[in-house]
Structure 1
Amino acid sequence: MVAFSLPGQANAHPHVFAEAQLRITLSADQSSVTSLQHFWRFDEIFSSTVMMEFDKNLDLQLDPSEMKLVSETVYASLADYNYFQIVTVNGKDVLMNSPPSLTTTFENDQLTVSFESKPNKPLMLAGRIDFGVYDPTFYTAIDFLTDDNLVVDQLPAACTRTVIRPNADEAISQNQKTLTDAFFNDPTGTDMSKIFATKLELSCGAKG
């Protein structure tokens, strides 16, 4: 079965590639984050693999029932990995609710995945907040091709927005003690792929 993370087969490099977009929506008073809207477009090779596996009637397209099965499979595959989301406040992980569902489509022979997730508790615009996506197994590489693919609706003037794209060599050097031979042989038990992920960082003054 096609999966986004295949722990038994993963090595220290990705096998699947996707372009990402992320839109962050805020409350009406601009004091808190209400939701994250994700959109991913997968590479043609992986997309064709999905097509071949789920095209049960062999008509070279996915009908609504087949596409529904794709969505259910993707949803289940991502559940154990927090849907590849990074959300932190001052370096501490923020618990996100599982999205109620996700949508998959094929556009120009490429698989797209979209879903919306919401914080488990109120996520105030205060301190340093980071958002991004990453696959902890290193099997899937999801990245934002341009900074404009990370959007915040109506960011208040009290906050600054920075896109952080880690340098791979610097990330490895700074985390050398953790990057052991065991990690390179089997990265699935670590969380180290997070250090290579592109992130949107919001820095906001404390809210009273």
Structure 2
Amino acid sequence: MSMRHGFVSLIVATLAAAPAVAHPHVWVAVRSEVLFTDDGKIKGVRHAWTFDDMYSAFALQGLGKDGKPPSREELAPLAKTNAESLAEFDYFTFAKYQNAKTAFGPPEDVWLEADDKKIVTMHFTLPLEKPLPAQKPFSFQIYDPTYFVAFDLEKQNAVTLTKAPAGCSTSVVEPKPLLAIDTQKLSEAFFANMSPGADFGMKLAARIVVACP
């Protein structure tokens, strides 16, 4: 079951009674670490994505025993499938270096966990194709262009730095608020007719900026 297929099945199973519901359908709370090499270059981003209770319940169907959440080992096959399927969507993570797009390699250290309340969190690391000098502007956004999935940064400690050189910092550039007319557009019909490459989700995504002296 891929992540996106899981989302779609979830909607069919749980939202059939509300056909007029607008986007988004799945909500994800995000924590991210910007990773550095020992010599101070930016080498990648490590994510922890915590899903809403409805998607978590769908993902955990048939897993776990005696009312307990499933173990990391039980969730390993789903974690692997999710990581493979997310490649098609660039892992919903879009980075820029010196204002030009930069690419990530395949994900590493992918695993899922479910807490005592059976809320699912996906952990994975996206390495840059090559480490980049930290003294140049680096930034990234996490979003679904179609806004089927809403990614929101956690309220506290959403972005941290690991092994960063002294003086490095992060800042979050919040998106501009939607106009009332844009809010009215968030209907199923609007998204069904949206042209490819419209990147509506980008308008609603915060940008994380890393700055080093």
1:153 maps to what in 2?
162
1:123-155 Cα shifts (integer Å, max 9, x gaps): 221332112311123111111122521112354
Q: Secondary structure at the match of 2:50?
A: strand
**Is 1:189 matched up with 2:199?**
no
Q: Which residue of 1 is the match for residue 3 of structure 2?
A: 3
Q: TM-score, normalised by structure 2?
A: 0.75
Count of residues in correspondence between the two structures: 195
Aligned partner of 1:144 in structure 2 is 153
1:120 aligns with 2:120: no
Residues 106 and 63 from structure 1, CA distance in 2 versus in 1: closer, same or farther, beyond 3 angstroms?
closer
Provide, for residues 9-63 of structure 1, a one-character-per-residue CA deviation record: whole Å limited to 9, x for no partner: 8x97210111110011212232x102211101111111001112x53x9865536
Q: What is aligned with 2:18? A: none
* Partner SS, residue 127 of structure 1: coil
Residue 93 of structure 1 and its aligned partner are, at CA, apart by: 1.1
Stretches of structure 2 lacking an aligned partner (at least 5 in a row): 12-20, 183-188
Task: Answer yes or no: is 1:102 the counterpart of 2:90.
Answer: no
Consecutive unaligned residues of structure 1, counting only runs of 5 or more, are 174-181
Q: What's the CA shift string for 1:166-203, capped at 9, x where partnerless?
A: 12327x98xxxxxxxx9643447223312321121124
- Tell me which amino acid in the other structure corresponds to 2:204: F
Instruction: Indicate how the Cα distance of structure 1 residues 63 and 150 shifts in structure 2: closer, same or farther if over 3 A, else same.
Output: closer
Choose from 7, 14, 23 the match for 2:24: 14
Structure 2 match to 1:47: 56
Indicate whether 1:129 and 2:135 are aligned: no
Q: CA RMSD in A?
A: 3.4
Letter in 2 for 1:84: F
- SS of 2:151's partner is strand
In structure 1, distance between residues paired with 2:148 and 2:4: 7
Cα distance change of structure 1 residues 66 and 140 upon mapping to structure 2, 3 Å threshold: same
Return closer, same or farther for 1:165/1:50 CA change in 2, 3 Å cut-off: same
CA–CA separation in structure 2 for the residues paired with 1:12 and 1:129: 33
> Letter of the aligned partner of 1:150 in structure 2?
V
Partner Cα distance (1:164, 1:195) in 2: 12
Residue 168 of structure 1 aligns to a residue whose secondary structure is coil
Name the SS of the counterpart of 1:67 in structure 2. Answer: helix
Q: Aligned partners of 2:143 and 2:44: how far apart in 1?
A: 18
SS in structure 2 at match of 1:121: strand
State which of 83, 86, 111 in structure 2 corresponds to 1:78: 86
Q: Taking every aligned residue pair, what percent have the same amino acid on both sides?
A: 24
